[in-house]
Amino acid sequence: MAMPFVGLVLLGGIPLTADDESSRPRVIATTDGEIDDRDSMIRFLMYANEWDIEGIVYSSSRFHWLGHTWSGVEWINAQIDMYGRVYPNLRKHADGFPTAQELKSKVYVGNISSVGEMDQDTPGADRIVSVLLDDKPGRVYLQAWGGTNTIAKALATIRREHPDQIAKVSQKAVIYIILDQDPTFREYIEPNWPELEVLVSTRQFAAIAYNWRQLIPLPRRVFFERPWMEGNITVDRGPLAGAYESNDGAFRSEGDSPSFMHQIDVGLRSLENPSHGGWGGRFAREKPGVTNVWRDAEDDGDVYKPIWRWAEAFQHDWAARADWCVLPYREANHPPLVVLKGKPDVTATPGASLSLDLSESADPDGDELRTSWWHYREPGSCARPVTITDDDRAVASMRIPADARDGDTIHLIGQVTDSGRPPLTRYARVIVTVKTGRDQARDQ
């Protein structure tokens, strides 16, 4: 008997334009100034148009605080000065890049005097308070590149002085923690802010930290070795990229970069749910029903794969940004625009077929596009094998397993890569929910 065909006519996966500031994630980066923080900041500044940057805050950690392997409170402005020298060229390639002066106005000193210090009122903590209490739309992503003490101080101030705003702030703020580098998260934030969403990368970030050679599979290491770095990032790409503190020419460490790569909109919908996964990793609830804390999740039993699986794409993307620092628009590459015909969320019955259509995708440089479809198994709950027909074409089809259970979810990734140099990739994600009832709607 022929199985029902559920047509998917999706218009989604289109990157948000930088012209609409309200559509961009609002971010505050807190940093302890370690070498890999400084290298992460170089990448962060090259992507400054992707977010509404509300603050860049000096903080401390158990590794770095005032007087202990401390890098001072001048290096951020020094990097912004380098950014200012390439800013005129960056803005030729995309809208939304802030001026160097705008960025400098967002730099603050937070709680840096010692590990976990959260008693002093500081300009950095006060800035976080101000942003979390304002009425601008959108969630605020608080990135903890070092410890969480400055963020904790801000939250403690809100709890003490603005208790009527606790519910609002709990829904508004998202904290992304790299390594959990002081005790203030476990001792203060977690017990006092149980509704606040917190992503804790205790191991996953290491895929692009100091030990990347031991954690990234051999075929992808090429994008971190000296020839690739010098050929694409650090040589002849202007002062900002040239300031990268390499390890004998090779990639050194950017353990903090996942905290903001999570908020780069490439079509993977990772901001909708931490379990979806994207360039900044993938997460699972630590204590379901108790707190809103998320920890590293594994892909194929590998806790590092949720980051390294995207390494070729995000390194090529960074290389394009380095080109934007020095090349005119016509000589650089720009990411494709992915157009998914239909809805990004659909329901279907077991055995039904879905049409997956990216045929209206386009490239701003006129490059040819290569499309592939694949089943991202781990974010979904369907354990049955999923077959995609014509998975190397813009228009593909997929059949729901006949024995799929009611409520099963299936995540399908449409991956579009252009033929430019370097090749750039964007995505569309279709999430299918299986419904077994006879009254299943067929109008998707």
Residue given tokens 């998260």 in the structure block: 185
Q: Which residues contact 242 (CB under 8 A, 6 or more apart)?
A: 234, 235
Same domain flag for 175 and 246:
yes
Same domain flag for 179 and 307:
yes
Q: Is the pLDDT of residue 444 over 50?
A: no
Same domain flag for 319 and 375:
no
Same domain flag for 240 and 343:
no
For residue 128, tell me if it sits in a domain: yes
What's phi and psi for 78, nearest 5 deg?
-65, -40
Q: Whole domain around residue 423: which residue ranges?
A: 5-14+336-434
Same domain flag for 153 and 213:
yes
Q: What is the pLDDT of residues 120-149, one digit of tens each?
A: 999 999 999 999 999 999 999 999 999 999
pLDDT of amino acid 17: 39
- Band (pLDDT 50/70/90 cuts) for residue 23 is confident
Same domain flag for 258 and 348:
no
Say how far apart CA 386 and CA 405 lie, in whole Å: 13
**CA 24, 25, 27 angle in degrees (round to 5)?**
130
**CATH label of the domain that carries residue 67:** 3.90.245.10
Q: What is the pLDDT of residues 76-131, one digit of tens each?
A: 999 999 999 999 999 999 999 999 999 999 999 999 999 999 999 999 999 999 99
Task: Select the more confidently predicted residue: 11 or 278.
Answer: 278
Handedness of CA 126, 131, 132, 135 (dihedral sign): positive
Q: What is the pLDDT of residues 259-303, one digit of tens each?
A: 999 999 999 999 999 999 999 999 999 999 888 999 999 999 999
Q: Is the pLDDT of residue 438 over 80?
A: no
pTM of the prediction? 0.94
Same domain flag for 241 and 377:
no
Q: What is the pLDDT of residues 347-403, one digit of tens each?
A: 999 999 999 999 999 999 999 999 999 999 999 999 899 999 999 999 999 999 999
Structural domain count, the chain: 2
For residue 289, tell me if it sits in a domain: no
Same domain flag for 217 and 366:
no
For residue 372, tell me if it sits in a domain: yes
Q: Is 94 helix (H, G, I), strand (E, B) or coil?
A: coil
For residue 329, tell me if it sits in a domain: no
pLDDT of amino acid 123: 98
For residue 145, tell me if it sits in a domain: yes
Amino acid letter for position 348: A
User: Taking every pair of C-alpha atoms in the chain, what is the biggest distance, in angstroms?
Assistant: 75
**CATH label of the domain that carries residue 380:** 2.60.40.10
Q: What percent of the chain has pLDDT above 90?
A: 92
